[in-house]
Amino acid sequence: MAGSYDDRDGFIWLDGKLVPWREANVHILSHAMHYASSVFEGERCYNGKIFKSREHSERLRFSGRELDMEIPYTVDEIEAAKYETLKANNLTEAYVRAVAWRGAGEDMGVSSARNPVRMAVAVWGWGNYYGDAKMKGAKLDISKWKRPSPETIPVHAKAAGLYMICTTSKHAAEAKGCSDALFMDYRGYIAEATGANIFFVKDGEVHTPKPDCFLNGLTRQTVIGMLKDRQITVHERHMDPGEMEDMQQCWLTGTAAEVTPVGQIGDYTFEVGALTREIAEGYETLVRS
């Protein structure tokens, strides 16, 4: 599948039924378009099975509640919708996007309590998120923006509005020839990339930022479990940017990123070492098991 995302063959699940891809539209006065009242999940299907599917569906409903949007579908109904959409598009290897949002209704201001909560599921084929960086190691810029305090926004929801600074940061990074950008948090500690969590290796031990003001990704949790199964020490902690000087390896994790090595962040460089490759290969085996 290629071309513009609004002009493709196939079907999208929208509010309980499959509709032709090009007809899966919303009104211009949908609340989400104006006030970011939208939550979503990014998932991958391998060999016909969505990895961590139910956990993603549960998180979608959690994110909706964090934005005061009760999604009108149960976890079981969301699960059925995802697999129905995959079947309708004849896909067994795919990216899966479930999204819920405040639609158009009686309210058109900040308040939207009378507007319906809508939901859709779209699926499509998608390769490596970072292209050949999956093998060579991604190059990251350092964003001028910071991840906000938990007192300012629901940081543990996968909410569309939280990605505004991700888009601007990634655009700036790409303009510099980088694959992505690294955020610091509101305190100045290392946080995450624009759509992925980050890990570092030093002397055989792994260090990763504590997710107290950003999303604790499902892939992140999976990789920590893999490391602990291998008896590798994992430190989840606040990390100062200057610590990158002494780190030997680095990788990103996320549903789209999977496990992607990092070769450079700003002026700091890292080797694509044995542990990075082991975890990347182990993750690939796990998701297809």
Active site residues: 158
> How many degrees, rounded to 5, is the angle at CA 255 between CA 249 and CA 257?
40
Distance between CA atoms of 191 and 181, rounded to whole angstroms? 11
User: Roughly what angle, to the nearest 10 degrees, separates helices 75-88 and 53-66?
Assistant: 120
Q: DSSP of 222-243, one letter per residue?
A: HHHHHHHHTT--EEEE---GGG
Q: What is the CA radius of gyration of the chain?
A: 19
Find residue 97's DSSP bridge partners.
42, 122
Whether the CB-CB separation of 181 and 143 falls below 8 Å is answered with yes
Which of 249, 38, 23 is closest to 159 using CA atoms?
38
Give the sign of the dihedral formed by CA 164, CA 240, CA 238, CA 200.
positive
Which of 272, 285, 256 is closest to 94 using CA atoms?
256
